Structure 1
Amino acid sequence: MKRPLIAVLNGPNLNMLGLRQPEIYGRATLDDVEQVCIQAAERLDIAIDFRQTNIEGELVSWIQECRGRARGIIINPAAYGHTSVALLDALLSVGLPTVEVHISNIHRRESFRHHTYTSQAAIGVICGLGVRGYGLAVQALYDMIEDEDER
């Protein structure tokens, strides 16, 4: 039986983790984040497709590719979450359970970061827990997939 696939999609500047503002984002790198996701996926016997881009349109295309291929999406839209109706529309169009993740607590930061368009398409938002938030998101989506499969 094919293992369920969860797409983990990361937006702009996350390739700079570990270098960019470590006092806010910590010292973990994007490779470390990927390892958190892989370890959680292995424990749950699911597959992960982990990607990062600095290009909004590419992120929209990746979301659209998930339709019919993935069982759920974990997205850290980064700054695009605060500005992109296109990402919101893409997430709504694929009809997949989505968890939004932010490494920092966006509600303790500048007021423009308190709102994300993408959260309107998410079943849940995890923020402020550092890279551990990704592992929690993998577990949450797995649990929802299991619940859905039991129905």
Structure 2
Amino acid sequence: MKKLIIINGPNLNLLGKREPAIYGSLTFTEFFEEIKAKYPTVQIDYFQSNIEGVIIDKLHEVGFSFDGIILNAGAYTHTSIGIGDAVKGIETPLVEVHISNTFGREAFRHQSYISAHAKGVILGFGLQSYELAIQSFL
């Protein structure tokens, strides 16, 4: 059984409430339950933190024992050299995901400290970005 983890960064705990025109009205908990039901032969874990260092610790924890990591680092994507270095330092392949098309948003969101160290990047497909990432590991 494949062992995957979705790691979400800051403010993604507000999905379903935060800017529904961009992020939709489904909470991540609701979406996660749907995804787990859709892929019953895959172990999919979930972790969310608003704190940069906690995300780095989680990457270190799972980065040598899981089959894949799906990371939406939120705004830390564009600011955190530390998260980028953590992704570079682990062995588990990682797909960077974003719900919105970051290139259609503010210019500062066009930079990622994660992309260069990721297996791939999926953005702009709403919550389906996560499912596309899961499929990339299967």
Letter in 2 for 1:22: P
The equivalences for 1:37-116 within 5 A come to 37-42=35-40, 45-116=41-112
Q: Following TM superposition, where does structure 1 have runs of at least 4 consecutive aligned residues deviating by more than 2 angstroms? A: none
| Residue in 1 that maps onto 2:24 | 26
Q: Aligned partners of 2:63 and 2:9: how far apart in 1?
A: 19
Query: CA 1:40–1:91 in 2, change beyond 3 Å: closer, same or farther?
Result: farther
Q: Aligned partners of 1:36 and 1:115: how far apart in 2?
A: 31
| Equivalent of 2:116 in 117, 120, 143 | 120
Q: Aligned partners of 1:101 and 1:55: how far apart in 2?
A: 18
Alpha-carbon contact 2:16-2:27 (below 8 Å) kept: yes
Task: Deviation per CA, 1:4-53: give whole Å up to 9, x if none.
Answer: 211110000000011111111111111133124313431xx121111111
Provide the aligned length of Structure 1 versus Structure 2: 138
| Equivalent of 2:131 in 121, 128, 135 | 135
Letter in 2 for 1:20: R
Task: Deviation per CA, 1:94-145: give whole Å up to 9, x if none.
Answer: 1221111100010100010011111111111111100011111101022xxx
Alpha-carbon contact 2:103-2:109 (below 8 Å) kept: yes
| Percentage of identical aligned residues | 42
Q: Matched residue of 2:39: which SS? A: helix
Alpha-carbon contact 2:65-2:92 (below 8 Å) kept: no
Letter in 2 for 1:25: Y
RMSD of aligned Cα (Å) = 1.2
Q: Matched residue of 1:104: which SS? A: coil
- Once the two structures are TM-superposed, the CA of residue 68 in structure 1 deviates from its matched residue by 3.0
| 5+ residue gaps, structure 1 | 143-151
Higher helix fraction (1 or 2)? 1
Q: Aligned partners of 1:67 and 1:11: how far apart in 2?
A: 16
Q: Aligned partners of 2:105 and 2:14: how far apart in 1?
A: 19
